[in-house]
Amino acid sequence: MRSPPGEPTSRLLLAVSALFVFPVVVAAQIGLPIEVTGVAGTTESVLLHIPQNAGNHVRALRMQIHNLEYPGMVSVRINESRWFSLTNDSVTVAEPGRSYGGIGGGVTTLKVTLALPAGTVADGSNTIDFRFNGTNGVASGFRVLAFDFLDADSHSVLPAEAFAEEDPNAWEPPLRDPTNISAGRSLWLAASLVANGLPKAPAIRAHCSDCHAEDGRDLKYFNLSNASIIARSLFHGLSELQGRQIASYIRSLPLANPGRAWNPPYQPGPGQDAQPIANWAAGAGLKWVLDSDADTIPFLFGPGVHGAAAVSPAAFAPDGNLNAREIPIALPLPDWNHWLPRVHPVDAFGASFEKSSFAHLYEASDPAKLATAAGIAGFFDKWSKSRSQFLTPRLAHALKKGSAERTDAFYSAELWQLVKTWEITQERGLEGSGQEFYGGAESRIWLNTIPAATAPAAVNIPNGPNGMGGSALTSEYFNSAWYELQVVVNSGGHRRHGKLPLDWVYLAGRFLELQRLSGRPEPGRLLITVAKAMQSSDPNIGPENASEGWRPDRNIDPRIMIAKDWAPMFSALGGEMKQAITESLLTAWLDKTVRYRLESYFQLGQLASSYTPPPGLRDISGGRAWEAAEQFQTAGVSVQLIHRLQAWGRSYSDLAGLYHY
């Protein structure tokens, strides 16, 4: 057992008991998280004292573990029991992680429950050992964020006051002198590394600063501990002294550090906008990752009255601005570990990457050119196009000879750009620049579409053995997660331009695919997407501008609530709630649509390039909602609203006939 340099030890003594039997006497609190990082076999232990007869009540151990990447990665032992290897067969994985593949799936911060044989926990002193069994070439350890014993009725045994969260602000550099800190900076920028911690790992050209933020601010921002930095340095072939020097450099950075390694960046939740903008990337924390998507619904319609009575058209109003940053969801976004590329483009593509504009634009990201919102948006647009120009010619060949290595190469190129976008955004304080560009519609925003471009689907990574994690479900999780991040950080700010920043109808279709694979409907998250799609156009521009104005035929329309293929998505809402949402969505859509003269929907220049919804999604797009009047009526929509809809439809159809539209 060892203690991370400069940090409190996790090996502490605690007297606890079953809450229903004995008063609890706490001798010392257990510091969380318990980090287990290093080589195969690295073990950390926690010592507990349980009073007389309390141990007989324990039947399970519940744990929340960060970076639980693959089955068999972690083992647990209690006292002299056998080692319990954590796999999907040996533990019960809680939602939402279970639906996304459990251990080895897309989500790697998981709550798991391990059943224990009677007598495993004893009266008196007990030791829990947490062991890292070995690397897969990517992981170098894990963190136990929380744990508890459970009785036969699944009641908690350990009191909350038994634990204390470690304060990263109390951490000190392992080496405090300027010489070692300077050496750590030099190592960060230029040390020669090997690919991983496996035997005979090859040397790589990339340095620490190439895959992380150039100055290492991400490790400071997300509070990567000294122990984890040292372990990762060893993983990449450096010495322990060099790891301590790098950790000392990171600790010395005079930068904000509101995040934690396990809290997904930008995870939405209440209170986000009340935080300083510098804290936004830290996210709302795992506490706001909901167990059930249905729990999102009340947050859509604001505080106060709950249930169907709270539903109103205001949430969907196209001229409104639903705040997706503040609405919690049940989809955990990727943590910082899963932002980082597994292989740098210079090692994946060699000299062709070095010579590309994809590489050069990053190197030449001149602060002077990013002085205005227009300049920022222009730079990121050009850089996004350069990535496509670099990767697209290589995709066809890669797809013919698919392999996990090729998947890593292309996906890592996307991740590299995402990490460097975060770096540039943080260095230059760009998240507050959207006021100028978007006319105040968003108080904080990214001025690019790079999160959406990080989806595996953006580079045609297949679902299957050579896809993400060898699993269609894992691929779809990451598709959905990166598209969701785009919704949170930039859904358009009422400044849609064609299909940018998101192709909303296509995005809706990904919900169906993820539900098909996970068996987990997401009505709440989908309705956020529908609302933001409705609110994507400029309130001051009408249908005559097909690219930027209100065009119901190019958007998700209210038929999504009554379309047959989408019924399972909304089945969990209950009849009254679904009826209220259907009527509110249709009302908001129709109120906006009838505001404009009919002729404005029929600009001659638009006819030849009339938008066609993607195949399979034409029952939720195209704007001809009046054709579903009978289904809306069956769904309980008011007769008055049905009559308004039909009247509009007749007028529209009559004029369309004159235009042969």
Domain ranges of the chain: 13-166, 170-252
pLDDT tops 70 at residue 14: no
Structure confidence at residue 385 as a pLDDT band (50, 70, 90): very high
Q: CATH assignment of 13-166, given 3.30.420, 3.30.2010, 2.30.30, 2.60.120?
A: 2.60.120
Q: Quick one: average pLDDT of 138-144?
A: 97
Query: CA dist 70 to 105, 142, 252, 456, 466, Å?
Result: 8, 11, 34, 20, 17
Lowest mean pLDDT among 6-10, 245-249, 268-272, 419-423: 6-10
287, containing H or E segment = none
pLDDT at 325: 98
Residue 411 clears pLDDT 60, i.e. is over it:
yes
Higher-pLDDT residue of 496 and 423 is: 423
Are the beta carbons of 620 and 556 closer than 8 angstroms?
yes
Average pLDDT over residues 499-505: 93
Indicate the pLDDT class of residue 398, thresholds 50, 70 and 90: low
Task: Examine the pLDDT at 537 and tell me if it is beyond 50.
Answer: yes
Residues in the chain: 661
Torsion angles phi and psi, residue 198, rounded to 5 = -80, 155
Q: Is the pLDDT of residue 41 over 60?
A: yes
User: Side chain identity at 476, as an amino acid letter?
Assistant: E
| The two three-digit tokens of residue 656, written as one number | 């369309």
Mean pLDDT to the nearest integer, 322-334: 98
Give which of 410, 418, 508 is closest to 461, Cα–Cα: 410
- Average pLDDT for the chain: 91
What percentage of the chain exceeds 90 in pLDDT? 79
Under the banding of pLDDT at 50, 70 and 90, the label for residue 7 is: very low
Residue 46 bridge partners (DSSP): 128
Asked whether residue 462 carries a pLDDT value surpassing 90, the answer given is: no
What confidence score (pLDDT) does residue 660 get? 61
Q: Is 410 exposed, middle or buried (0-12, 13-18, 19+ CB in 10 A)?
A: buried
What is the distance in angstroms between the CA of the first residue and the CA of the last residue of the chain?
Answer: 74
pLDDT value of residue 464? 78
166-218 pLDDT tens trace: 999 999 999 999 999 999 999 999 999 999 999 999 999 999 999 999 999 99
Query: Which of the four pLDDT bands, split at 50, 70 and 90, describes residue 658?
Result: confident
pLDDT for residue 11 is more than 70: no
CA nearest neighbour of 512 among 616, 628, 631, 584: 616
Residue 289 dihedral angles phi and psi, to the nearest 5°: -85, 110
Question: In the structure, what pLDDT confidence band is assigned to residue 401 with cuts at 50, 70 and 90?
Answer: low
* Distance from chain centroid for Cα 614: 26
Average the pLDDT over each of 156-160, 527-531, 573-577 and give the range with the smallest value. 156-160
